[in-house]
Structure 1
Amino acid sequence: MTTRTLTMPRLGETMEEGTIAAWLIEPGQSFKRGQPLLEVETDKTVVEYPALGDGVLVETLVAPGDVVAVDAPIARIEATQWEDAGTPSPPAPEPAATPVVPEPHRAPAAAPAALRATPAARRLARQSGVALEVVTGTGRRGRIEAEDIPAAGPATILLLHGFAGDGATWAALAAALSRAGHSVLAPDLPGHGSDGTVPQGIDDLFSAVNRHATGVTGKIHLVGHSLGGHLAALYAAAYPDRVASLTLIAPAGLGREIEVAFVHGMAHARTGGEIAHLLRLLGPKAATLSTDALEAMAKTLSQGRLGVLAAAIAGPNGQRIDTLAPLSRLPDRIPLRVLIGRDDRIIPAAHLFNLPPRAAVHVLPTGHMPQWDAPADVAAIVTGAIQHV
């Protein structure tokens, strides 16, 4: 027999590397021509690599889970009439004779069973938060197939409102998502709505988002509007393992330009009339609020809880927050959708061109509040995003 180095095979025209899914024989074990030696996982499938001759597996050079480039060494074998052009290894030198000292017999330690799963199954498990170790595979030799992954239950969706808004701004979308069987959280962030604290900056709001998200079992779907979009992106980048998907609606922080007068006007508004003029910048729905609703908003905003936060968001030169940085750190496995209002008068719609290429962008014929102006369209997009995770 000749000692050879077995290399990672090229299993497709575009294959550059593969993952060792499992070794099907142990070192020291003999094999016959055509017998599968190992399983290799590519980006498309799992393939068994058969022996191209009779022989013995001398040692493995890589372990299950290792990503190996094509033609890189993966094992040493002793074989005869091997069809592959493997690289013969020089015979090992004879070791010097040494006295043999008998050792007590020890049973060899059992090697942990390699976890075998198709790429589709691994992807579904990651997205559903399912540990592959608890899944029973029905494929060949116990391999876990996509259909073995338990279907995900109803999703938990965390809705984060924008500056000077509150959880009630999500009423229509929250109702649609609830009717679809999902669990919906739409809290009032610090300084907004029923939360009477005075936020000292973005960090206070981020801490609140973290508290709400931490209380959820399993992964969450994040939906953020305007400033809430910035917070959602920050959270997804900081805790990607807790996030199933990210949807941003008219997000702040994609560029410098912003209607500064709106931000500071809302923070310092004292009357319903002031608020009415400012809300007309948001779109047609905002202009229909009743006098009672406007006066209620004025009563809350006149307490001055948002002054410090407004200064943290926007200054004389425009936006002071950056959402592009956390989006650049977002793992590719987290779906990213962005909804932009074509007629947005608060944040220019042209900021969409600053988004990363992988973002799925939807441009709607709305202002800064697509969830108000086109609630059915927004509900369909968000629901579809959840269903396709």
Structure 2
Amino acid sequence: MNTLHTPSVSALPQRPIGPLSSSALGLGCMGMSEFYGASDDHASLQVLARALERGITHFDSADTYGLGHNESLLGRFLAEAPERRAQVLIATKFGIVREAGRYERRIDNSPAYLRSACEASLRRLGVDCIDLYYCHRRDPAVPIEDLMGSLADLVQAGKIRAIGLSEVSAATLQRAHAVHPVAAVQSEYSLWSREPENQLLATCAQLGTAFVAYSPLGRAFLTGQLNPAALAPDDFRRHNPRFQAEAAAHNQLLVDALARFAAERGASSAQVALGWLLAKHPHVIPIPGTRKIARLEENAAACALPLSPTDLGWLDALFDPGTIAGARYPEAGMTGIESD
């Protein structure tokens, strides 16, 4: 596989998140703890260290990832070298409540839960203040104004630096932002999940809110390196509609065309998928996840991939939303997700 020249640390561009600064590409840490089969803490710590060396400063976690394990892992990473704390942006989330070993969830946005969840995350991370704290999923029974008021109290108390929301609609974002600035909205966005293009991306740009794109590689399907039939028994993608036999076969045709496009440019499919996001929107920060240093290096190199307006248009047409087979989540995973 031909890959781009790996840029130096100083070459990685920066993008603002409210009062904070982030590398243009972040690192999603979820897979280091859950959902994608077996993981190894030692290997994950090596990936985290190499990411920082490469200039990736944005590390994304949540209290529900591994039921606290993921935040504890990041806490270990920070404790290994205290100087790292000043170099990184730590993002984590609250609001999804699950039982061990179960994918089903409920949403809790109550003030009491928010306060206790924040304190628990602070302890696991081993920090005095969380840089970016997201409401992972919104409970519609709690007015967004009340939720933002509770989060603003945490900012005032010095527990968090900036507020984020995840998988909210443009209308919810506008209401929230009227109470307190929303530094970032995190939602799924990739070549094959383009719902934010309806209204949310434009609203974020209008309000000065960064858009953090999770699953920017389509849970690895867009890389062209994934065989759905070979997934581990505990890999949640086995239950994802887009990875089911007929849908996967249809979607594979699009990924094959992406691979040919990438090869013509001396790049990998992953680099093109990430480069598309970076080139289309100056306020978008993709956070691909990986547990392998080689993939980390490959992803980081996407920051140096030039894509022309013609290239972007061709990719837009190839992955027209109407051509994608299967929903992006099983039914349980849609809990708390708003749409425009």
In terms of fraction of residues, the more strand-rich structure is: 1
- Which range, TM-score by smaller chain? under 0.3
Q: TM-score, normalised by structure 2?
A: 0.27
Q: TM-score, normalised by structure 1?
A: 0.25
